[in-house]
Structure 1
Amino acid sequence: MTSRISLEPEAVLDVLRTHFDIPADTAPDTDFQNLGLDSLVLIELGVILTQQYGVDVAGGELAAAGNAAKAAELVSAKAARS
């Protein structure tokens, strides 16, 4: 069975705003590093996204993605493969 999750970058930003207090005006292409998000935060973000969307997302994958737009693409691609 194929999941049809098409995650928008705004959904990732909403998680970041809610759980990690990033600025409200953060753009989807703002680098996680520029936001001061370290590896522990990205691991926590991965856990939250995994719980919300049912796909396994690792902190290292999010670090490699680098921003909310690419993180949304990652989750969507993983969901399409599951």
Structure 2
Amino acid sequence: MSLTTSQLEQQILDHLVAHFEAPSDATVETSFEVLEFDSLAIVELSLALTKMYSVELDDAEVKKAGSASGLAALLLNKGVTRVAG
């Protein structure tokens, strides 16, 4: 089964809520700015996603993506085809 954008968005959002203190009412479109992610959070998120999806991400890419939805698009563009697990 191929990975859908919505599956990847939801997995990223779930990770943000569980590990980065994003509020449970955040959506995949909630920006990192609204979530008050500072530069350290962005670096930690880039490292976590690199490990989860076995794809190299740098903090500038993660910051530019700006949201769970943007991250999903970035990961798909980098060839991610499976849900982390």
TM (norm. structure 2) is: 0.81
Change (3 A) 1:6 1:56: farther
Which ranges in structure 2 are unaligned for 5 or more consecutive residues?
Answer: 81-85
8 Å contact from structure 1 (residues 5, 79) kept in 2 = no
Distance in structure 2 (CA, Å) of the matches to 1:74 and 1:27:
17
Instruction: Say which structure, 1 or 2, has more relative contact order (CA 8 Å, 6+ apart).
Output: 1
Task: Give me the CA root mean square deviation.
Answer: 1.6
* Residue of structure 2 in register with 1:48 after alignment: 48
8 Å contact from structure 1 (residues 9, 71) kept in 2 = yes
* Residue of structure 1 in register with 2:15 after alignment: 15
TM (norm. structure 1) is: 0.84
- Tell me the matched-pair count: 77
Query: Could you tell me the percent identity over the aligned residues?
Result: 34
Q: Which runs of 4+ in 1 moved over 4 A?
A: 4-7
* Residue of structure 2 in register with 1:27 after alignment: 27
If each structure's helix is expressed as a fraction of its own residues, which one has the higher value?
Answer: 1
